[in-house]
Every structure is written in C-alpha cells, then in structure tokens.
Structure 1
C-alpha cells in the first residue's frame, strides 16, 4: 500500500458553474442597504466596465442629511478607533485588521442573516449587532443603519475598546456588555498592571507622546489597569455563548469548552487562539508591548496574537476589508464600484487598456467619477494589493488551525480487494483539539466540515466518490437543490460533521432543517418564542438540535462500501481523501437572500486539507 500526496485528480465532484452575476435589484429598505451594498463587488464576469459600474451605482447611500454629521466626532471622543491605537501598537493592529473580530461588522453574510432573522422574528432588533457592532450599539446607531453611515469605530466590529474598555466580569449575557466611554487619554484595561504606560507617561518628552489634548505628540492613554478576567476564557463567554429568542443556542463553544479536557487542565481560549501556533496552546510569542516613535516599551513581554486564528474568512471587497487607514481616502461607496477583479489600477492592465482603446480594439470604460483618472486607480490598487496580501495570511492561518485541530487516518479495509466484488473500508477522523467540538462556533451560521473520498481505477478513471458537491457547491444531502431536482444522486454515504436542526411538521413528524424554523406551520416562516420556560423541556417546542460534530479528542469512523460492478478489472487502484471546510452552505445563503457573487466568493474560500492518496492492488 503506497501513500502519496494527492495528485491533480479528476474528482467526480461537479465543478461549480462560473457564476455570472445578474443585475440584482438592491432594495434599500428594512436595513437591506446595509448588506446589499456589498453585492456589486465580488465578481463582474463581463469585460465591459459600464455594466459593472451601473450595478455598483445601485449601492449608493441614503440622501445627504439623513446621517448624523456629529457621529464621527462624538465617537472619536467617547469611543476611540483602532486607528488611534495603531501608532503605538502597530503589530497588534496589523494582526487585528484582517481578523474575524475586525470582520464582524463588515461581513455581508452577517448582514443578510441578521436581516433575515429580524424578518422572521421582528422583536429581535439589536440582538445580533450587540456583538458584531458593539460600539455602534453603544452609540445608539439604529440596527438598520447602512454601514457607510456608521461611525468608523462602529465599522470596526470587535475593535480595541470592545475588550480593552470593559471593566466588568460578565457571563452569559448575549453580548450585553458595557463599553466604558472615554477619549484616547482615558485608561485602558488589560492583563498587565500598566507599568509600561506609566514609564511612557513619566517620560512623555522622550517618547514624544501627548497625554492630553493640550500637548503635541502621539496621543496616548494615561493609565493601564489590570482587569483579571480579560485573559480568562470567561471573558469570551458574552459573545461566544449565545441563545436566540426561542431558546436555541446559536453559539455553543463555551458550553463545549466548559466540559472539555482543555478546561480541566486550565488551558484558556486565548492560549490556543492567540498563541504562536494557530489553534494549539504552545505558548505565546515575545516582543515589545508598544513601539512609540521608534522607541520600544517592555521589549520582552508576552505577545498575544490579535489575529485570533480560527476557521472564519472574509468575502467582502478588499478595498473595504481588511481595515486599512490608506483605504479611508475613498468612501465605501466608491470602493464598491472599483472593479479590482478586472485589474483596474494594475500598471500592466492600464497600459494594455490604453493601447487597446487607442488601437480601436475595445471601447472606453465609463469609469465611475472617483476612478476616472488612472493615477487614482493605481493608488487604489496599491491598497487592494496590500489587503489581498493580508487576506493570504488569513488563509494560511485558517489552514493551520484546521490541520492542527484534526487528523484523518486510513483507509482501513474490511473486505477482500478483488475485482467484481464489493470493496468495504473506512477512515478514522479525529478531533485533536482538546478545547471544543469539530466544528464549533455558531450553529446558526452552519459551519461545514466533511470528508471527500474518491476511487480511481487502473485507467485513471474516477469510478466512485462520496462527499461530492452539486453545481452550487453544496454537498449532495437532503438540502441540495440538485438532489431535490433529481439531477444528481443523493450521497447515501456522506460523512458530514455539520450540525442541523430537527423541526416539527404540521402532523407531528420531523424534518431536517438548517435553521430552527417551522416552515410548514405558516406560509411565512416565523421564529416563535415558546409558551413555557425552555428549561421545562430542555429545548424549545417543535425544534431539536441534530448534533454531528466531534467532541474534543474523540474519533469517528467514516465507513464506505463500493459496489463490485465498479471494480471491473484487476490492477492498481487509488483512494484519494481530503477534508473540506466552508463557513456556510450555499442553500443557506440562498435562504438569507445572498447574491451569486457572495455564493461564488464563499466557494472560492472552500478549504481542502489532510489530502492524500493511497495506492492498493485489486486481484
């Protein structure tokens, strides 16, 4: 039996169609403006920029005067932006700006999902944005306020002060945490007592810092206060253990952690997700706590990585995310009209475009006003390239987290390997993470982890496969559009760790559903709060959780059987396997009203890992 790395195989998986965007009607009402503004950015397949610009034009903001002109001024005074922390904490800012925390307010999927939830349960209101836009909630911004009208610090999602301006130990409060208001000079809270800050303040002239608005220099907070909970797992509970209005636990990672081997050993969330090895408690890096005008402070302090390594990923326009101070030169609406995929701003593309226009080989593009001049497009391209580089770093962290937290072994054969006879075998999938289930996190957002296995015969033909996807990129399970249409077979042997729900139909039977919505009870699905305390039943009425995830350090066998009529000849066969991971299923994205551009970006981030091939002889 020969094990090799997986070659470029012709997987039977139906290749996802190149999704050309349609001119989506963007309805700027009920808060949909907040999310639909991102729809125009992801892919313009056509080569004519005019169509792309027309589509992006539909993402304009509300008429002037509807936003509060004092919002940014007040927010910077009471709630400092991460950009104000960056001059002294550049390394931390650079790690944070591409993190899932920084993405919390930007995510177009979040806005689509949040609007859908508010449509299904109109009393939820600011429930979701309390975590995703904590500062915006503190500022009193309406839930449905378009992102481009919000304060900069609100658009930063889980920003610096979301954690470092909290002085109260909270528990399961569903995101209801108070952020202490105060300008940049007021105290910050951390896991150290503030000796470094005290030194800098005492020698403010040497470090060239400003300790008040009356002084010149880099603005600095005057005090650092130790907050005992900030480096404990309990600090994460308020946003990472959340129950929605009907009593279903949307975020479950805290409950899983509390019963885990990691918790028993005293290993915290921070020790894995902020360590020097993504997802593994191997200790922290060391480095200066701050770098102020070239002068380092506390050079060998423990450094907590604020990238917060995890499985999440962004699908927003790279001019909008990752956060980049240089991107603030242009409003968000202008970024959404910048067609980075076609190559705008790249010198080679610009030269080729100008030559083609001059030669009469193509029509001129009706560039948006903000991008009319080449120099502006090239400046914007520099921001795009910097952000795309950060996104690649994010991809690598994600890959390491998924590989470090799991293991695949096999195949282990349980039958004879003979031509014309059925072939039975299994793989063992292990969750090597001692802290929580695989996958974990938000069940409402449906994180997917599944096994894809293919059998290749001696002629190199793919004769059998499980874990294949349909034309949209979904697994061939009960929710696949193609399975329901009968265009591809149901994958009866699918090994899928995705958690779903069982909801009650009108006549009392159950159906599998990806949200706890009783769609058969009403023409309009509605999330109904229970009539009695959830604790009486231990789950909401008419909805139960169908857990499939792997608990910490546990294993599960993925068993397969290949019919004998597919093994038609003796010789050398290959079994290729890979784990696959994606944040959202496409049928879920269709349910929340996502665009084809969003679906394509979601599929582009699909991760393949633990991929390898085994060769064996069939007699």
Structure 2
C-alpha cells in the first residue's frame, strides 16, 4: 500500500501535516472513506467469508421511511418508536448500491478519491516509553485520580481526536484547501499530537495512547503560562514525566502533604526512585486560569482563516448575563448539576493505595457537561483501561452489532464461520463483549447527561391556539421556545459543524393516525429544507413551517442570491481554492467578503415563537385530537456527513443517538 501526504502550503504555528488514514483503516474506522468505497469493501470481505455480517435490520437509519405519502397521514405516535429516523436510501431503491447520493451541493466540486496508502513502518519499541516520559497519559493519572479519570473518559474532551466526524471533516478540509489548513484543527483537538509533530500520514490508530486521548489531563494541568484571551489553540504543554509539577485550582497543600509523607505512603516522587510504589507528581502550583472562564477561550473562541467566527461560545458568554453575575463556564459545565450553576460536589481529590487521601474539597466534574455524544466504535471509545488488551485496529474488526461474545451468539457459532484474529477465539470475544457492555453503559449515561444539559437551557411552552379548532377549517397554532440559560445562545458551540436543534410537532387524529407534521426527516435523514435531496427531486414536500435553530454558512454566488453551503472556502478565480486572508478587516465584520453566517440561535433568556398552519384537509373529523411536540438535537446534519464522505454506519450512529428534549402532548377537542 502507498501512503499519501496532503501538501502543506502554510501552517500557523507548526510546519506539520496531519492524520491521513490508510484505505484499510478508514473503511473499518469509518473515518476517511466515501460511502461507495466502504460498501464495496464490506461486500468483498463478506463474499470472501472473512467477515460476519451483522444480523437483523440493515436499515441505514433505522425505522420506517417517515416521508412516504401514506406514512405522513398515519403511523405510530410521534413520541414512540424510531419512525422519525427515516429509511435506508439504498434499501428504498433511491440509490443503487455503491452509488453516492445525488447531493444538491455537488456543484462545490468532485469528491476526492484517496490513494491507497502503504502499511505503516514498524514502530519503535521505545516510542511508548519516550512519549510517556514527555507527555504522561491519563492512564497514569488514573492511579491517584480514578474519579476524575472515569468522568473524563467519556467526555467530549476525551472524544476530541478519536471522533470519526472530526477525522473526516479535518481530512476533507485538507483536501478542499490543498493542505493550507495545516495544523489549525489539531491544535485544539489533540495538543499533544501537535507538539509531537506527528505527520499526517500516520494513522490515528497507530499513534501513542496519549494522542488518542485528545484533550487529556496534561492539556490543562501542565500549562504554566496564562494565554489570556488568545484563541485557536494558543497554549503550550510543559513536557516532562509524571513527576513534574502540575497546575491546579488550589494552593496545592494536599500534594505537599502527600510528598512530605512519601515514604510512609509508599509514593515515588522522582524518576530515580525504584521498587514498588505509586508514582506521582512532586509538586503542585496554583494556576489561576483553571478557576476562570478565560481558560476555555483558547479552543472555544476560534476564527477560521477566511475570518469567520467558527467557535463563538466564549464571545456569547462574555456579553451575556452569566458573565455579568460572575458565573463561570466551569460553574455550569463542571458543577454538580449538568448545565446549571447549582454548586459543586465535595469529595477527596486523590486516592493513594486504594484509600481516599487528604481533605474533602470542591470537586470539578470532568465529564464537562455538554450536548455531545459519541458515534465511534464502543470498543475504541469511551477510554477503558481493560480495552487495551486489544489494539484499536482489532477493536474495529469486532462486530458488536452482530452479537459477538453474547451467550446467544456464541452458542450459534458453527465450524464454517470465520472471524478475523483475535476474534477467532470465543474467550476473546466474550471478554470483548464485557468491555463493550461496560462502555455502552457509560455511553448511555453520557447521553442522558447531554439531555439534562440541554433541557437546563431550553423550554417549550404551548400549544397556543391562534384560531378555534373546528372541523373542516384550518388550524393555526404557536409554541414558545425559550433559552432559559444565562450563559450563551441556544444552540452554541462549533457553528462550522452545524449542530441541529429543531422543533418536531405532529397532529394525531381521533383514530390515532398522524395526519400532519413539521420537523420531519426525509428518506436520507435530512430535514425537508433546501438541503434535502428528496425535496430537490420532488419526492417530498418542503417543510414550510420548519423551525430550525441551526446556524448555516451563506455564500454569494457569482450571479444570483445567497445560498447555504456546508463547507466555507474563500473562493478565488484561481482553479485551486486556497484559503486566503480577506481584503477587508474581517476581525471587525466577523466574516470575509462573499461569505457570512446566518444565525438562527436564541440569545440568553430570550425566546422565539414558531407558528404553524395546519390545513383543513386533515381536520375533517370531530373529536379528540392530540398535538405532540419535542425538540430534537443532532450534532451533525446528514447532508453534511455525506458531503465529507461519512460511512453509513457513522450516519446510523448519529441518528440512533439523536436527543429528544421537552417531549409533551396536548389533547384538545375539535367540534
């Protein structure tokens, strides 16, 4: 296999390129190959008998196709079942197998084909030791701080670089811009990898564990310089082994006490100490930024090269009520209650020789409460020390959906079934299943906390009837959607990734049939707006009442009006779309010429009132009707995932984990 390197034209801080995956890696990791290639590879392996196909439903998105005409007028209740996830475009006959969807955004250019890389060279046997001595892993910190590690291991910080969506987005941005992005994205998503200057031709699967940890412990606790409000990943991790001092939010008296009793507690505070004992840092210093919101600005207030404010949450926070009251980012995102400044948990900060040590003190929760969720393979994420008995590449071959390792599956295995090593051993499959089960439980807990975090900042009131419900006449209703948070807009975060938050409303008639709906998904899992292929091709009506808080990029066409796009590039008359600085003061305008952002988010403590017009044709019967409503949250829209060549399994996981908020129903009588 050949490896490819995206040419590096310029880089902001380091002359490096970044994470390109081999063809084999990407088809299994679901990070770097187009849908058509992943499907073809899967079919070839299945035909050769090298892989067991998952059993059960192969539907890409799960559930029934919501938008077939008959289904729009009937079916299950809005708040039950998976019917809102749409159908499989291949299974529905909308696409031939191996074909990419017809995308209205195809005019942006052809989808690049990746050359097949060569196998990675043999790893240096001393690499792991050298890396640990410079940049200790979170696994090392875990011995004294198991609670912090357990919380962090499923957080979005721990997910930052192993995220399949990030890997695909970063790779496509490199391809679209001919490498001019450089290390821009990686400085925040994996600061250790940036300092190690690992080339992009190295697969993330082959990198040291501390790199796959993304924003790991030392990313915040081994920085000793205040960068104030610098952005775009401006910070430097101090290299050194586990014994080097760490920064904290207190004066470090607990560490000093432990160091003073090192012999009694059997602690090793120096690399020169040998024999048994628990290794720890030799000191701690008060790092004031850890107690302030300015610590977060480095990665949560980011402008991309054309001048667009991509991450804007810190700017929203600075101008909001929470900042005026002295409420910090940490108060809501590291406190005891997800999304609310309701105080902190108190507990011991460290465990030494399996016993709590020191005084009980304020505990900052390292789950970093937020709305994100994982779509990675559950053997690779969350981080789990027991999972290290298998390599990431081996985990990606483990078909957890087919039931490998469960009693039911193992009892049905026959001699003619073939498994990739090491999964050809039933004991290994059973061990892996136990790890998957533990990780899945943590994923479910994280997803639940994401719902709680979002519901701490969103409220839905209504319905409000703007006309009298009468049979044979149109019905006008409204809801009030409020941002109850004082911290920042709803939604906020990375606008470049375009997280979606929309209102889904359905009307159920006296016979229990769903006769009208807004906020529905088409057969490809997209909202029925201008980004829907089904709408563009006339298979599905446009959702004219859609209430979607997603912020979108707009560009000005050479002729005509603005239109929405998924990826912003500073266009030029040259054939290659290099990223160039704007010719106007973009830091003032917050957008370059011809590109801007269309914000739909709600400011803190503000509200919006979506209105709906229900046609008379669906209100013909008299009797009790029911309006069901929910807010829905998804980290990425499906059209965007397809554009960056996400695999069907990535799209399936994105929709399976979609968050439903503020679900409620209201019954009323039509006379």
TM-score by length of 2: 0.83
2:151 corresponds to 1:95:
yes
Separation in 1, partners of 2:357, 2:155: 25
Provide the residue aligned with 1:21 in structure 2: none
Separation in 1, partners of 2:23, 2:604: 35
Deviation at 1:49, TM superposition (A): 9.7
| Aligned-partner SS, 1:229 | helix
1:446-595 to structure 2, matched below 5 A, reads 446-507=498-559, 509-517=561-569, 527-535=579-587, 537-595=589-647
Contact kept? 1:207, 1:295, Cα under 8 Å: no
Deviation at 1:319, TM superposition (A): 1.0
2:294 corresponds to 1:242:
no
Contact kept? 1:49, 1:367, Cα under 8 Å: no
1:87-166 to structure 2, matched below 5 A, reads 87-121=143-177, 122-166=179-223
Larger displacement relative to structure 2 (439-448 or 71-80): 71-80
Contact kept? 1:40, 1:55, Cα under 8 Å: no
Separation in 2, partners of 1:548, 1:36: 40
Change (3 A) 1:552 1:294: same
Unaligned runs of 5+ in 2: 7-18, 31-37, 55-113
Change (3 A) 1:587 1:552: same
Provide the residue aligned with 2:334 in structure 1: 274
Provide the residue aligned with 2:448 in structure 1: 396
Change (3 A) 1:547 1:27: farther
Deviation at 1:539, TM superposition (A): 2.0
Among 265, 272, 286, the residue aligned to 1:207: 265
Contact kept? 1:32, 1:112, Cα under 8 Å: no
Separation in 2, partners of 1:613, 1:490: 25
2:365 corresponds to 1:305:
yes
CA RMSD of aligned residues (A): 2.6
Unaligned runs of 5+ in 1: 1-24, 358-362
Provide the residue aligned with 2:385 in structure 1: 325
Separation in 1, partners of 2:223, 2:186: 17
Separation in 1, partners of 2:264, 2:491: 50
Among 470, 474, 481, the residue aligned to 1:418: 470
Change (3 A) 1:189 1:83: same
1:336-485 to structure 2, matched below 5 A, reads 336-353=396-413, 357=414, 364-485=416-537
Change (3 A) 1:537 1:316: closer
Change (3 A) 1:259 1:28: same
Change (3 A) 1:538 1:197: closer
Provide the residue aligned with 1:77 in structure 2: 133
Among 243, 257, 264, the residue aligned to 2:317: 257
2:257 corresponds to 1:219:
no
Contact kept? 2:300, 2:311, Cα under 8 Å: yes
Contact kept? 2:339, 2:456, Cα under 8 Å: yes
Separation in 2, partners of 1:68, 1:542: 49
Contact kept? 1:41, 1:338, Cα under 8 Å: no
Please give the per-residue CA displacement for 1:469-495, whole angstroms capped at 9, x wherever unaligned: 011211101101111111111100000
Change (3 A) 1:537 1:391: closer
| Aligned-partner SS, 2:401 | coil
Deviation at 1:501, TM superposition (A): 1.6
Contact kept? 1:409, 1:428, Cα under 8 Å: yes
Change (3 A) 1:471 1:35: farther
Contact kept? 2:553, 2:567, Cα under 8 Å: yes
Provide the residue aligned with 1:602 in structure 2: 654
Provide the residue aligned with 2:105 in structure 1: none
Deviation at 1:463, TM superposition (A): 1.2
Among 13, 16, 21, the residue aligned to 1:33: 21
1:160-199 to structure 2, matched below 5 A, reads 160-170=217-227, 171-199=229-257
Among 65, 85, 98, the residue aligned to 2:121: 65
Deviation at 1:514, TM superposition (A): 2.9
Change (3 A) 1:285 1:461: same
Separation in 2, partners of 1:226, 1:143: 36
Change (3 A) 1:173 1:69: farther
Deviation at 1:562, TM superposition (A): 0.7
Please give the per-residue CA displacement for 1:571-610, whole angstroms capped at 9, x wherever unaligned: 1111110110000001001111111111111111111121
Contact kept? 1:134, 1:158, Cα under 8 Å: yes
Aligned length: 586
Deviation at 1:281, TM superposition (A): 0.6
| Aligned-partner SS, 1:287 | strand
Deviation at 1:531, TM superposition (A): 3.0
Provide the residue aligned with 2:347 in structure 1: 287
Separation in 1, partners of 2:143, 2:332: 27
Separation in 2, partners of 1:615, 1:556: 23
Separation in 2, partners of 1:284, 1:27: 49
Change (3 A) 1:28 1:571: farther
Separation in 1, partners of 2:124, 2:644: 30
Contact kept? 2:5, 2:200, Cα under 8 Å: no
Separation in 1, partners of 2:48, 2:608: 53
Separation in 2, partners of 1:489, 1:511: 19
